[in-house]
Amino acid sequence: MSVLHEPALAWYADHARDLPWRRPESSAWSVLVSELMLQQTPVARVLPVHEAWLERWPEPAALAAEQPGAAVRAWGRLGYPRRALRLHAAAVAIRDRHGGQVPDDHAALLALPGVGEYTAAAVASFAFGRRHVVLDTNVRRVLARLVSGVELPAPSVTRAERELAGGLLPDDPGTAATWAVAVMELGALVCTARSPGCARCPVADRCAWRAAGHPAYDGPPRRAQAWAGTDRQCRGRLMAVVRDSEAAVPEHRLEAVWPEATQRDRALAGLLADGLLVRLPASDSPQGPLYALP
């Protein structure tokens, strides 16, 4: 066993957060839902939505039986609502192709709509105890510092990075799955991006970045995502109006929340193209076109 495994695993056993998708009784569906929700969204915001989602749709078939718009509405303000459509599409595929059970095979998971390499590896590992490289932002940052001696990893996953992570995986599948989540938790709670808690780190004495004196990141510029005034903010405002309404929304209500016509029209066109909204014919209402969830 690597000299890194024992201290990291012992730390995780003592410090792991009690999250519903990590509990022994949690289903693979709970894990899949959590992984989609946690993409670019903090745990604190995900917890209440995940709980409500599993209460309403405790298994994939229950969600698959509803229209996609129900998933978008239940998604609420988690952001990036296309993830709700992907989860609905995955639920339909699980019902139709896998008898309603989340598949335990990495290739079958990867074939589900909206499931990429990371999500497939995470579900196979965390739900089924399989041995896979699981590289999220936290894991990549921990391994970059611990082994490569740099503050932050490259903007996108490299082949060398994947090979490094694979070489560190314990041979035993169950231990490898625990190692994957332990490193993830270490990055979330201790080896954070802005304020790493080296004094609390169980592997600080083996950390190449610490040994090198914490050299600053010198790679390609990492741009912070803008929000105010962006198309993404506009899309969010428009979606909120339609999502929070029980009936279809006339166009003038959307104009009220985002007066700039060119950007509003561009955002609306994108929402329609993504399948997040549908436009009813103008003839259905004297107020003009109506917008609703799919």
Among this protein's residues, is 185 annotated catalytic? Answer: no
Of the residues 6, 25, 35, 59, only one is catalytic, namely 35
How large is the angle between the packed helices 173-189 and 117-128, nearest 10 degrees?
A: 110
**Cα–Cα distances in Å, from 250 out to 62, 221, 241, 257, 266?**
31, 43, 10, 12, 17
Own/partner long-range contacts of 259-268 (Cβ < 8 Å, ≥24 apart):
260/234, 263/231, 263/234, 264/234, 264/238, 266/231, 266/234, 267/231, 267/234, 267/235, 267/238, 268/238
Residue with tokens 């103008």: 282
Residue with tokens 């309404």: 245
Half-sphere exposure of 50 (CA within 13 A, CB side): 24
**Cα–Cα distances in Å, from 100 out to 95, 149, 192?**
4, 45, 38
Torsion angles phi and psi, residue 29, rounded to 5: -65, -40
If we measure between CA atoms, which residue out of 12, 11, 33 comes closest to residue 21? 33
Own/partner long-range contacts of 37-43 (Cβ < 8 Å, ≥24 apart):
37/78, 37/83, 39/80, 39/83, 40/79, 40/80, 41/78, 41/79, 41/80, 43/17, 43/19, 43/188
> Which of helix, strand or coil describes residue 19?
coil
- Report, as residue numbers or ranges, the catalytic residues: 35
